[in-house]
């Protein structure tokens, strides 16, 4: 049984978002083009802590045409 306050549903992460990229800044390696931020963690974690809501800019990556 999960602890109180924890959800068992997976949280959407930045890896599948089209705005997510790796920056060349070693201090802040993860970045979001939509929010214009760099972070030591995935940007969606910083957004969740700051606003209390999941990232509203998240867009699923699309597969390239075959």
Lowest-pLDDT choice from 14-23, 24-33, 43-52, 55-64: 55-64
User: By three-state DSSP, how is residue 49 classified?
Assistant: helix
Query: How many domains in the chain?
Result: 1
Whether 56 maps to a domain, the answer reads no
| Host domain of residue 38 | 20-51
For the entire predicted model, the pTM comes to: 0.73
- pLDDT for 15-42, tens place per residue? 999 999 999 999 999 999 999 999 999 9
What is the residue whose two structure tokens read 């800044």? 25
Whether 30 maps to a domain, the answer reads yes
What is the residue whose two structure tokens read 């920056």? 23
User: By three-state DSSP, how is residue 23 classified?
Assistant: coil
- Report DSSP letters for 22-61, one per residue: E-S-SSS-EEETTTTEEESS-HHHHHHHHHSS--SS--BP
Whether 8 maps to a domain, the answer reads no
């Amino acid at each position: 049984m999960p602890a109180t306050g924890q959800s068992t549903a997976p949280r959407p992460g930045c890896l599948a978002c089209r705005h997510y990229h790796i920056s060349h800044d070693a201090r802040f390696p993860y970045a979001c083009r939509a929010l214009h931020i760099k972070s030591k963690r995935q940007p969606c974690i910083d957004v969740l802590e700051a606003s209390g809501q999941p990232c509203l800019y998240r867009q699923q990556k699309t597969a390239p045409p075959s």
